[in-house]
Amino acid sequence: MALQNYIYKFFNKNNMKTLFLIDILYMKDINAIYNFQNGDYIIKQLNKLIASQIITSIKKKINKKVFIEHTNTHADVFELIIYDDFSIDEVLEIKNLIFEEIINHPFKLHNKSTSINIDITIGCSKSDDQLIKIYAEKALHKAKLNFVHYMYYDSYLYKNEAISEDLLETINYNIENNLVEPYFQAIMDNTTDKIIKYEALMRLFDKQGNALLPQVFIHKSKKCRLYTKLMELLIDKIVLYINKYKKHISINLEYTDILNPNIKRSLLAKIRKTNIGSYLTIEILESEKITNFNIVNDFISEVKKYDVKIAIDDFGTGFSNYEYILNLNVDYIKIDGSLIKKIDEEIYLNLIKSIVQFCKQQEILIVAEFVNDMKILRYVKAIGIDFSQGYHIGKPVEIQEIIGERS
């Protein structure tokens, strides 16, 4: 078994790994109050808990074969490394499992009649290089400084601190060189299993050509009043690709984008000029922030003159979502991924079924987000959801990869 593990690690050492650092809080107090023998005894129990119960629970949770190893690196710190790549939501689920298993576990003292609970802090990162521990330690340190039980640190940001520290220059670099690009995530028809459209997601790039995710630059671009320019460049690229490749594309607009006269004017002008409306769907984000339905419906009415479709994103996260739908002339709703990923739990399945029934009555088509495995896809199809989107269907990719798949 040891040889098999060594071979696995050797061939996977350069692949993506996810590392959790688990730090016992107040270990000095435990040693001072209960003595060092009991402190060591608690560490041995935690080591056994991780090696057996927690690793078994993780494998059951992710439901696929992975190699997991753990070590007690310091007196009160444990490493748990999983040789696989996970989405941020999957990382959170694993973190929650680790945290709850440990804080709810009764740790015995040597006298056997007494048990105590311990508290922990978790730092996490994922990477494909040998510095992954540094990234996770940075996350653990920040979690302790902020008095929170968990922190995730993006290894990409660590390797590109200059981007983080001088993000304004990077944003301007993308604007000046027209580098803003849409990455496309596939949306599949659940009846035919064919890809029928793609959602466009904005990406910027550093000077080495590495892609930056929206959570890195969106807030900064808005704060520096450069977001509108980024959106205009993104819309230009989407229009270009629709014209060139005749792909059906969804573009995301926030309520504030619809209120922004420059973005609205630019988008409408391009739709009119290029006649791409029948290939375009506009997804309205953060619909709970809509305060003036007349303005939004005027915008919807205007774009629908050119055969543009309208979708509401993240549906199901708020109690008044149904009111939004009844007040807006929409063609699709996208059920929020936080519901879809729990579709195998009865309470969420029933909630999703009620959304599906409502949409069928209103003749609104439904897209399930976060369809990340075959199990979820089977549920989604079984209850009559029209379309699926998620990592099981496809990850966001450049336009060249989509065209390459076609040829």
Buried b / exposed e over 345-382, threshold 16 CB at 10 Å, is eeebbebbeebbebbeeeebbbbbbbbbeeebbebbbe
For 20, 33, 133, the CA distances from 102, given in Å and listed in that order, are: 14, 20, 21
Q: End of a domain among 159, 174, 194?
A: 159
The verdict on 304 and 262 lying in the same domain is yes
Distance CA 69, CA 47 (A): 12
Q: End of a domain among 115, 132, 159?
A: 159
Q: End of a domain among 131, 159, 187?
A: 159
Please report the pLDDT score of residue 131 as a whole number: 80
Please report the pLDDT score of residue 287 as a whole number: 66
- If pLDDT is split at 50, 70 and 90, which confidence band does 2 have? very low
**pLDDT tens digits, 170-228:** 999 999 999 999 999 999 999 999 999 999 999 999 888 888 878 778 888 888 889 99
Distance CA 292, CA 312 (A): 16
pLDDT of 13 > 60? The answer is no
The verdict on 30 and 174 lying in the same domain is no
Please report the pLDDT score of residue 40 as a whole number: 93
Query: Which has the higher per-residue pLDDT, 88 or 114?
Result: 114
Q: What is the mean pLDDT of residues 377-401?
A: 95
Domain containing 152 — which CATH number? 3.30.70.270
The verdict on 247 and 338 lying in the same domain is yes
Distance CA 241, CA 231 (A): 15
The verdict on 110 and 199 lying in the same domain is no
- If pLDDT is split at 50, 70 and 90, which confidence band does 105 have? very high
pLDDT of 405 > 60? The answer is no
Please report the pLDDT score of residue 11 as a whole number: 40
Domain containing 245 — which CATH number? 3.20.20.450
The verdict on 242 and 198 lying in the same domain is yes
Number of domains composing the chain: 2
Please report the pLDDT score of residue 349 as a whole number: 95
Give the chain's end-to-end CA distance (angstroms, integer): 45
pTM for the model stands at 0.64
Please report the pLDDT score of residue 166 as a whole number: 73
Degrees to nearest 5, angle at CA 287 with 284 and 288: 170
The verdict on 120 and 195 lying in the same domain is no
Residue 123 has which token pair? 């730092």
The verdict on 197 and 221 lying in the same domain is yes
The verdict on 293 and 365 lying in the same domain is yes
Please report the pLDDT score of residue 156 as a whole number: 59
To the nearest whole number, what is the mean pLDDT of the chain?
A: 87
C-alpha closest to that of 155 among 316, 19, 3: 19
- H-helix segments, 13-131: 27-34, 36-49, 55-62, 88-103
Q: What is the mean pLDDT of residues 68-92?
A: 88
**pLDDT tens digits, 273-298:** 999 999 999 999 866 677 788 888 99
- If pLDDT is split at 50, 70 and 90, which confidence band does 19 have? very high
**pLDDT tens digits, 327-356:** 888 999 999 888 998 999 999 999 999 999
Range of the domain at 375: 161-406
Query: Which has the higher per-residue pLDDT, 212 or 70?
Result: 70
Residue 66 has which token pair? 């992975």
Residue 42 has which token pair? 């608690």
- If pLDDT is split at 50, 70 and 90, which confidence band does 407 have? very low
| Residue 182: CA count within 13 A, CB half-sphere | 26
pLDDT of 268 > 60? The answer is yes
The verdict on 119 and 231 lying in the same domain is no
The verdict on 101 and 187 lying in the same domain is no
Q: What percent of the chain has pLDDT over 90?
A: 58
The verdict on 298 and 383 lying in the same domain is yes
The verdict on 138 and 285 lying in the same domain is no
**pLDDT tens digits, 143-160:** 888 788 888 887 655 544
